[in-house]
Structure 1
Amino acid sequence: MHPADLSASGSFAPPPAAPRFGVNYTPSERWFHHWLDFDLDSVRADLDSVAALGLDHIRVFALWPYFQPDRALIRPRAVEQLGALVDTAAERGLDVNVDGLQGHLSSFDFLPAWTRTWHRRNLFTDPDLVHGQAAYLRTLAAALADRPNFLGMTLGNEINQFSTGPHPDPDRATEGQIDAWLERMLAACEAGAPGRIHLHAEYDATWYQDDQPFTPAQAARHGAVTAVHSWVFNGTAQRHGPTGVPTEHHAAYLIELSKAWADDPHRPVWLQEVGAPAPLIPPGHAAAFTEATVAHALDCPGLWGVTWWCSHDVSRDLADFPELEYGLGLLTNDRRPKDTARALARAARAPRPAPAPRTTALAVPSDLRARSRCAPGGPVYDAFFRLVAVGARPTAVLATRAHDPAHLAARGITEVVHPDQVLTPHGRRGGART
């Protein structure tokens, strides 16, 4: 999808003819702390190694405290360096999505001092703080707006983790307050760079956690595309092992689950983060997991693209990361491709026909307090994967839309089944046909 396909209102166009393939860029030297000692030659070498895989885009993380250390100070030099990185990517044929509000990365929180401790204010509701965030996002977007390879802004990385438990110091907000915050932040991005692909992205608690104020409806209705982040350390790999059907299809499940909440039946979905976390996915199986995960995601109609986590390993010179974070890169710190990189490169090169519609839909509850039914071990989750295990290609539909002929027809759904029709001793009993 070219940015010109988007209207100034931020509405979205159909997904590209072929899904995009990219990677979340983690610098090989100094990780995201490279912004403190920015070395464009090192970035060039990193992006050469990414481009050699045949990928077409990267997702870049501008660490918020380094870019906006004071509410009234957005560092011009940092913004200039971000522009240089985007230009360097363009020289290598790579488009760039930029995350603004970091936010949370690899188990660490990165929030400016003017939001915490003695200056503690709510990230989502304090008027001054919200104004500062909007100014920051607008500034980054405007600085990149004239670059053809700038895809657009993501508000921040999994910022929903700040909104409730298990975060130890959450910035609590209501669903309505989060709605207003999302609208304000996306409008700021649109004001800075009209017509680009501006979106927000949360971790899977949005879909699975009953008390999350970031909701599935927000994920599927705000912004240009729906983003999902698939990590099988959420109980999936623990329950089903590295080769289990739910493990290999978890990304596809989230893609299809998200469609239940979309108002537009053809809204694109971006698999914006997915990776092979050791030891749940043993290093020797990581390439096979990558191949299976990507293949099943590509079998989902309306997929915008796949963006793997991540480009380069975290250096062992850095301390205090969880062990799994050090080895998630497609490439080593000296920029050598691993088997996972080769698997993703093969998928990016392979021609693929557009997937057929998924005609069987599993009904999912619209009650936000029932989201845990869709989580690992829940009846929706279990029913979905039982269908997959017998060869079906299910999607999802809200139970409140299960008898809406126009909605079902627009999505190509001809049969709706309910979890209790699947999870019986005798297997699937059949569903309501449209």
Structure 2
Amino acid sequence: MRFGVNYTPSVGWFHHWLDFDLDAVRADLDSIAALGLDHIRVFPLWPYFQPNRTLIRERAVADLVRLVDAAAERGLDVNVDGLQGHLSSFDFLPAWTRTWHRRNLFTDPAVIEGQAAYLRTLAAALADRPNFLGMTLGNEINQFAADPHPDPDRATTDQIDAWLERMLAACEQGAPGRLHLHAEYDATWYQDDQPFTPAQAAQLGAVTAVHSWVFNGTAQRHGRLSVPTEHHAAYLIELSKAWADDPRRPVWLQEVGAPAPLIPAEHAAAFTEATVAHALDCPDLWGITWWCSHDVSRQLADFPELEYGLGLLTNERQPKDTARVLAEAAARKPGPAPVRTTALVVPADPAARSRCAPGGAVFDAYFRLTADGARPTTVLDTRAGNPAHLAARGITEVVTPDQVLPTPQGGTRS
């Protein structure tokens, strides 16, 4: 079981790549390592590293290598996100993809060549570092592919399939055998018209990544102390398994945090403790990587209010109660969770994903089962009658949402 944190520099946020200060980075990493965590996820900003399609800045790549080496000195492994992409409400896309040079991020051949070269270059620069875990293609890059983005780069699911395969291959070419993956925000699981699909998330790349944020309607509907809010991360972990071909495919809870004001600061530690405990009750969990390491400085303008206080540590690198909760969980070194034997049926049709979203029948049924003391997982409707598939996953009971939820007339659970 891995415990880590998404590294947000305490000085300059991700703009620190413009005037990289290794001493400041070392101090940040010291404060992370002091929590007993074992890895970080880091975010080169794509336009700073590749400002022209055929120019990948050697100095920027060297700074990334220096950061990874500094992490190694402190016993921290590193996952590197490539195409940044989107972070904390801001888009960071190079000028050669926008406005006068507007080209689709997922379908334009020249853009794809540039992206592949960039990912391959970053991976190759780190391939000989023992503490380099591998590449994540980009941070929630599916937000560029559909609404509600104000200027989406629309693509079909087949085109996204081809794009993902090409980008993952570029990472593998640069650093063979490392943990290369892709990661999207929860529209992949919840939004009917998203071209990034659950099947892609659960089948392409070395592990499945899920990002859990309860400001997606969960906390608004159910409140901060509710079963859905405290189990949301576990739900996404188990929901992802319905689409996996490998019954033991690892799932990485790569982003999860305690967003104010839905999770007030005074309740953040309790939310963290509950979220981590329930995630650890999911079999085949690769690890938990909290968002994020350090608060965003109040000297920086225009962030959504919730972004300023998400850190485990303050800008002065002092741990908060949430940091102590995560540190205690890491110190306990939990073992494998037992198999979940009850499976809730979910629709395989990607056009029915909204049934899995907050307010949907699958979502509500899952949390009713959870509140009743069950430990549900999920299974696709196309696999629910397959004895071999169920046996491989240890599933002994299959239920549908209709069997769990009251009838519209107010009938009881069957």
TM-score greater than 0.5 by the shorter chain: yes
SS at match of 2:373: coil
1:353 Cα offset (Å): 3.3
SS at match of 2:30: helix
The residue number in structure 2 matching 1:87 is: 69
SS at match of 1:53: coil
The residue number in structure 2 matching 1:212 is: 194
The residue number in structure 2 matching 1:308 is: 290
The residue number in structure 1 matching 2:362 is: 380
2:123 to 108, 133, 141: 141
Q: Distance in 2 between matches of 1:351 and 1:29?
A: 31
Amino acid at match of 2:8: T
1:426 Cα offset (Å): 5.1
1:364-387 per-residue CA deviation (whole Å, 9 max, x = no partner) reads 001111000000000000000000
Q: Distance in 1 between matches of 2:81 and 2:251?
A: 17
- The answer to whether structure 1 residue 154 and structure 2 residue 144 are counterparts is no
Matches within 5 A, 1:345-356: 345-356=327-338
The residue number in structure 2 matching 1:103 is: 85
Superposition TM-score, scaled by structure 2 size: 0.99
- The answer to whether structure 1 residue 366 and structure 2 residue 345 are counterparts is no
SS at match of 2:44: strand
The residue number in structure 1 matching 2:229 is: 247
SS at match of 1:306: strand
1:351 Cα offset (Å): 3.6
Q: Distance in 1 between matches of 2:234 and 2:350?
A: 21
- The answer to whether structure 1 residue 421 and structure 2 residue 391 are counterparts is no
2:52 to 53, 70, 75: 70
2:3 to 18, 21, 32: 21
1:408-430 per-residue CA deviation (whole Å, 9 max, x = no partner) reads 0011000000000000245442x
1:241-279 per-residue CA deviation (whole Å, 9 max, x = no partner) reads 111000000000000000000011110000000000000
Amino acid at match of 2:119: L
The residue number in structure 2 matching 1:276 is: 258
2:176 to 187, 194, 209: 194
- CA root-mean-square deviation: 0.6
> Structure 2 regions of 5+ residues with no counterpart?
none
> Structure 1 regions of 5+ residues with no counterpart?
1-18, 430-434
Q: Distance in 2 between matches of 1:352 and 1:176?
A: 40
Q: Distance in 2 between matches of 1:229 and 1:406?
A: 30
SS at match of 2:382: helix
Q: Distance in 2 between matches of 1:428 and 1:354?
A: 32
1:372-404 per-residue CA deviation (whole Å, 9 max, x = no partner) reads 000000000000000000100000000110010
The residue number in structure 1 matching 2:207 is: 225
Q: Distance in 2 between matches of 1:250 and 1:238?
A: 13
SS at match of 1:154: strand
Q: Distance in 1 between matches of 2:187 and 2:375?
A: 24
1:405 Cα offset (Å): 0.6
2:274 to 267, 271, 292: 292
- The answer to whether structure 1 residue 396 and structure 2 residue 353 are counterparts is no
The residue number in structure 1 matching 2:32 is: 50
The residue number in structure 2 matching 1:33 is: 15
Q: Is the 8 A contact 2:284 2:336 kept in 1?
A: no
Q: Is the 8 A contact 2:4 2:290 kept in 1?
A: yes
Q: Distance in 2 between matches of 1:151 and 1:428?
A: 46
- The answer to whether structure 1 residue 324 and structure 2 residue 306 are counterparts is yes
Amino acid at match of 2:283: P
Superposition TM-score, scaled by structure 1 size: 0.94
Q: Distance in 1 between matches of 2:281 and 2:365?
A: 19
1:325-371 per-residue CA deviation (whole Å, 9 max, x = no partner) reads 00000000000000000000011111423211000000000111100
1:177-232 per-residue CA deviation (whole Å, 9 max, x = no partner) reads 00000000000000000000000000000000000000000000000000000000
Amino acid at match of 2:138: G
The residue number in structure 2 matching 1:335 is: 317
Q: Distance in 2 between matches of 1:356 and 1:44?
A: 39
Amino acid at match of 2:287: G
Q: Distance in 1 between matches of 2:164 and 2:336?
A: 32
The residue number in structure 2 matching 1:10 is: none
Amino acid at match of 2:398: V
